[in-house]
Structure formats: C-alpha cells, structure tokens
C-alpha cells in the first residue's frame, strides 16, 4: 500500500471498511474503496466531476498553462502525485503510477477511473512516506490554499518528493495589472465575482510564489510569470458581466464584445486563439508583476 497514516506516518492495516494505523490506532474510513484521511470540502463538491481526457490535444496547446505541462511531462518517470487532482487529467495518468488527492467525493470518484490510487487528504498532511514520488504536480490549486497554510503544504510537497525529483505547478497569482487593480477597487464585487466563486483565497504575486518555493529548498528550473494583464474572452464575461459594468464604460463595452464572441463556441475558440497569441506577446513585454499566474518547475537536490 502506498498510503501511510497522515498523523504519525505509521503503517496502515486494511480492515476492509477502514484503514487502521498500527502505531497510533487511528482509523480512516474507506468509502467506496477510497481512503478518507480528512474532512471533505463542500465548496469543491460537484465542481470537477469528469476526468480531463486530453493529453497533448490542440486544446491543450491553446491553453498556455496546459501547454507547459504537456511539454515538460513528455518523459514518463516514476510515480506522480497530483495535488488537488479534481477529476484527474489523462496527461498525468500516463505516468507509471499516478496518485491523486482531493477533498471532493465526486472528483475523487472521477479521478479514480484514470489514476492508480486516489484519496481524500489534506495537502498539508500528506498520507505518504518520505521521497515517494518522482513528480509532484498541481494545476490551479495553490491559489486555493490559505496563506497561513502554504508553508506546511510546500514542506509536505518537499518531503514526499524523491531526491532529484521534479515538481511542476500552475499557481494562480495576484496580478497587479490594470484590470485586476480596477477590480480590487471594489472589494465586495471582487470577492463576489472574481476570487469568491473560484475559491481563490490564497493568492500571492508571482514573485512571492517563487520566493516561497525557494525558501523551502526547491531548486528553480523554470519560473514563468504568465497571463500578464490578459484574459480569455469567456473569463471577461465570467468576471465582469455584472455590477462591474456600471463602474466603467470601457469595461462594459469590452464585456459586450466578449459576450457576443462567446455566443458561438467556434467563434469563442477563434477569439481565444487570438488572445493566446496576444498573451505570447504580452508575457514577453508586460511587467512580470502583472502576471495572473505562474508556471513553475523545481527540482529537489539529488
Ligand atoms: Zn498513526
């Protein structure tokens, strides 16, 4: 069994309906065969309930953060841990042994269909022995971790990563770009429409994100601030087609244009190809502090 007791890292005994820690005698239920080491989080229940079956498709290449993973995971090496796996991603599942953890029952049920093992577990108390994984990955997860819990999560990540192993993440960032700065002028709306619905309760700037990884001993291979001040057209609608439109005529006009573009999926995709190209330019010339996200790859010293 790949799991150990998250509290004391003792060996677990399979009692069919529970896992029993032979050291501290704590019991963890097996729900439909999935070990449950922590409380489920109702906020995430029902949100990502299908595996992402793409693994290097055209769609992945149009989404900058997905392209990063596709490029950097072309070589399959050892066990992979997907932190906050949602319904799982076929690209990660191609690893010789993919393990996912999450806090949503429906997500874990989906991820189980493509991963070797899944469990409900706290990112800050991982149920694995030291140096278990050659790869530890997450996408759109660390921005959901409260600031005061982040150091524990990174320490655990470092602990379970094998020496010489790699860790890759897309981390949502607190962009200082004009659109975000405008959004934050209205804290209630910002919480209601931008950070709240997505659960982005622990955003840091791209620079703070990199500094935190380095403090934990990770050796940087790639630190790429991205999504600098630009949004996909559907995101513009998602974030701003609400009371925000009364705050700025320019914004309202942009929302109207983006709303029109999203009426047809084909046109929306075309528009987002244009946005993707603009992002490639923007991410080269706009200030890195504007980044709404950070793509990182670190190594643990061999
Ligand atoms: Zn124990």
Q: Are residues 153 and 254 in the same domain?
A: no
| 173 and 263 together in one domain | no
- CA of 159 relative to ligand 1 center, distance in Å: 17
Q: In angstroms, what is the span from residue 196 Cα to ligand 1's centroid?
A: 35
Does some domain include residue 20?
A: no
Q: What value does the mean pLDDT take over residues 116-134?
A: 97
Question: 27 CA distance to ligand 1 centroid (A)?
Answer: 8
Average pLDDT over residues 278-301: 94
Q: From the CA of 11, how far away is ligand 1's center (Å)?
A: 7
Same domain (yes/no): 90, 175? yes
What is the C-alpha to C-alpha distance for residues 63 and 139, in angstroms, rounded to an integer? Answer: 12
Same domain, 68 and 174: yes
Ligand 1 centroid–CA 84 distance in Å is 23
Closest CA to 216 of 287, 288, 146, 124: 124
Task: Say whether both 269 and 142 belong to one domain.
Answer: no
Average pLDDT value for the chain: 94
* In a shared domain, residues 253 and 148: no
Q: What percent of the chain has pLDDT over 90?
A: 86
List the structure tokens of 212: 């935190």
Asked whether residue 262 is assigned to any structural domain, the reply reads: yes
Same domain, yes or no: 132 and 252? no
Is 186 within 8 Å of 246 (Cβ atoms)? no
In a domain, 17, yes or no: no
159 with 260, same domain? no
> Rounded to the nearest whole angstrom, what is the distance from the C-alpha of residue 35 to the centroid of ligand 1?
14
At 111 the pLDDT is: 96
Burial class (CB in 10 A: 0-12, 13-18, 19+), 197: exposed
Query: Do residues 80 and 92 lie in contact, with contact meaning Cβ atoms separated by under 8 Å?
Result: yes
Task: Please check whether residue 18 lies inside any domain of the structure.
Answer: no
pLDDT at 230 over 70: yes
- The first and second tokens of residue 176, run together, are 């200082």
In the structure, ligand 1 is a single-atom ion and the residues with CB under 5 Å from it are 5, 7-8, 10, 21, 23-24
Same domain? 202 vs 173 = yes
> From the CA of 121, how far away is ligand 1's center (Å)?
14
Whether 65 and 77 map to the same domain: the answer is yes
- Tell how far the Cα of 5 is from the centroid of ligand 1, in angstroms: 5
Question: For the chain, what is the domain count?
Answer: 2
Q: Does residue 4 lie in a domain region?
A: no
Question: 103: CA distance to ligand 1 center in Å?
Answer: 20
Q: What is the CA radius of gyration of the chain?
A: 20
Domain boundaries, position 272: 230-285
Q: Which residues pair with 295 in a beta bridge?
A: 170, 224
150 C-alpha to ligand 1 centroid (Å): 23
Q: Which residues, at least 6 apart from 58, have a Cβ–Cβ distance to it below 8 Å?
A: none
Q: How far is ligand 1, taken at its centre, from the CA of residue 239, in Å?
A: 44
How much is the average pLDDT of 142-146? 95
Residue 184 is assigned to a structural domain of this protein: yes
Q: Say whether both 184 and 260 belong to one domain.
A: no
CA of 156 relative to ligand 1 center, distance in Å:
16
Give residue 173 CA to ligand 1 midpoint distance, Å: 35
* Shared-domain flag, residues 138 and 268: no
pLDDT, tens digit (0-9, with 9 covering 90-100), for 148-199? 999 999 999 999 999 999 999 999 999 999 999 999 999 999 999 999 998 8
**Is residue 80 over pLDDT 90?**
yes
In a domain? residue 22 = no
- Give domain status of residue 21, yes or no: no
Half-sphere exposure of 233 (CA within 13 A, CB side): 24
CATH code for the domain in which residue 193 is found? 3.40.50.150
Q: Is the pTM of this model over 0.95?
A: no
């Amino acid at each position: 069994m790949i799991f150990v007791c998250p509290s004391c890292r003792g060996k677990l005994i399979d009692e069919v309906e529970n896992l029993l820690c032979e050291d501290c005698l704590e019991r963890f239920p097996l729900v439909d065969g999935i070990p449950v080491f922590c409380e489920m989080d109702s906020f995430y229940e029902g949100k990502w309930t299908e595996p992402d079956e793409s693994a290097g498709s055209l769609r992945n290449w149009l989404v900058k953060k997905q392209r990063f993973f596709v490029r950097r995971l072309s070589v399959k090496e050892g066990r992979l841990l997907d932190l906050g796996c949602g319904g799982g991603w076929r690209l990660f599942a191609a690893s010789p042994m993919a393990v996912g953890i999450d806090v949503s029952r429906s997500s874990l049920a989906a991820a189980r269909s493509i991963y070797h093992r899944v469990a409900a577990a706290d990112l800050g108390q991982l149920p694995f022995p030291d140096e278990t994984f050659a790869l530890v990955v997450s996408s759109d997860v660390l921005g959901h971790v409260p600031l005061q819990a982040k150091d524990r999560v990174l320490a655990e990540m470092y602990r379970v990563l094998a020496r010489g192993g790699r860790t890759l993440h897309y981390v949502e960032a607190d962009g200082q770009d004009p659109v975000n700065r405008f959004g934050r002028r209205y804290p209630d709306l910002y919480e209601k429409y931008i950070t709240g619905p997505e659960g982005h309760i622990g955003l840091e700037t791209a620079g703070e994100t990199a500094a935190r990884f380095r403090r934990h001993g990770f050796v940087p291979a790639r630190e790429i601030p991205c999504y600098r001040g630009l949004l996909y057209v559907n995101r513009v609608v998602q974030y701003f087609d609400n009371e925000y439109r009364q705050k700025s005529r320019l914004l309202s006009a942009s929302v109207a244009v983006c709303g029109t573009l999203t009426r047809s999926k084909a046109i929306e995709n075309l528009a987002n190809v244009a946005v993707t190209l603009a992002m490639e330019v923007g991410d080269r010339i706009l200030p890195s502090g504007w980044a709404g996200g950070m793509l990182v790859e670190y190594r643990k010293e061999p």
